[in-house]
Amino acid sequence: MPMTLPDFESAARHAVEQLEQKLSIIYTYHSLKHTCDEVVGMAERLAGLEGIDGEDRMLLVTGAYFHDIGFVQRPENHELMGVQYVNHVLPQFGYSPAQLKVIEGIILATRIPQRPHNLLEEIVADADLDSLGRVDFWNRSLALRSEMAMLGMYFTDQEWCERQRGFLRQHHYFTASAKRLRDEQKQNNLNFLLERCRECCPEVSWF
C-alpha cells in the first residue's frame, strides 16, 4: 500500500490563518510577512539552489511556515512553543512522528545562537536571518527595534547600532548558496553600521 503524503497545502494554510488571526500587531518584525515573504520564500529559493526536493523540501517548507508560530502564545522560548504546537496540530494533516521530528529540528534551528545539525536546518537558519545580507537590512533592523520597544526593551541609537554591529560580526551563513548570495551585501551592511556608530559616538575608536 503506498504511503499517504501529508496534506501540506492545508497545513501551510493553517499556519497562515493562525498568524493572520492571532499574532499581535506589536510584532513588527516577526510578522506574517516575515514568515511568508522572507523565510518561506528564501527557504524555497535555497532549497532549489542546494538541490533539495521531494519530501525533504516539503518538510523544510512546512517548518518554515511554522517556525514563528510560537509567537502567537509568547515571545519567550517561542521556538519551543512552536514545537509543541506542531506536534499537536500537524498529525491532523497526516504528518508522521518521523516527519514531525524533522520539522522540530527545523524550527529549533532558528534559535539564537543558531546551531543547525543538517542541511535542512542550515537552510532555514539562513532564511530566517536573510535580511542581514540584503539591501533592506536597516529597515528590517528598525522594525525589530520597534518590536522590542513594544515588548519593553529600549535602546538608544548608539546602543542599537552597537548591538546590530556585534550581531552581524558574529553571524555567518551556513549554506554555500546563502554565502554566495548574501555575504557581500552583509559586509556592506557592516560598513554602514560602523559609520552609524561613528556618527552616534565620534570620540570612540570603533576598530
Model confidence over 49-79: pLDDT tens digits? Answer: 999 999 999 999 999 999 999 999 999 999 9
Torsion of Cα atoms, 155 then 159 then 161 then 166, to 10°? -120
Pair 155, 145: CB distance under 8 Å? yes
Interval 6-26 mean pLDDT: 97
**CA separation for the pair 96, 93 (Å, rounded):** 9
How many other CB atoms sit within 10 Å of the CB of residue 52?
20
In the predicted structure, residue 149 carries a pLDDT above the cut 50: yes
The reply to whether 188 and 96 lie within a common domain is no
In the predicted structure, residue 199 carries a pLDDT above the cut 90: no
Identify the domain containing residue 4 by its residue range: 1-128
pLDDT for 7 equals 96
pLDDT for 3 equals 59
The reply to whether 140 and 94 lie within a common domain is no
pLDDT confidence bin for 197, thresholds 50/70/90: confident
pLDDT for 196 equals 78
In the predicted structure, residue 203 carries a pLDDT above the cut 60: no
The reply to whether 93 and 148 lie within a common domain is no
pLDDT for 195 equals 85
- Among the candidates 128, 150, 178, a domain finishes at 128
Mean pLDDT of the chain: 93
Interval 92-111 mean pLDDT: 97
- Among the candidates 69, 104, 128, a domain finishes at 128
The reply to whether 35 and 121 lie within a common domain is yes
**Residue listed under C-alpha cell 508522521:** 96
Is residue 68 packed enough to be buried (19+ CB in 10 Å), middle (13-18) or exposed (0-12)?
A: buried
The reply to whether 199 and 148 lie within a common domain is yes
Total of domains in the chain: 2
Pair 19, 34: CB distance under 8 Å? no
Interval 99-107 mean pLDDT: 97
**CA separation for the pair 113, 110 (Å, rounded):** 8
The reply to whether 10 and 43 lie within a common domain is yes
C-alpha grid cell for residue 166? Answer: 556585534
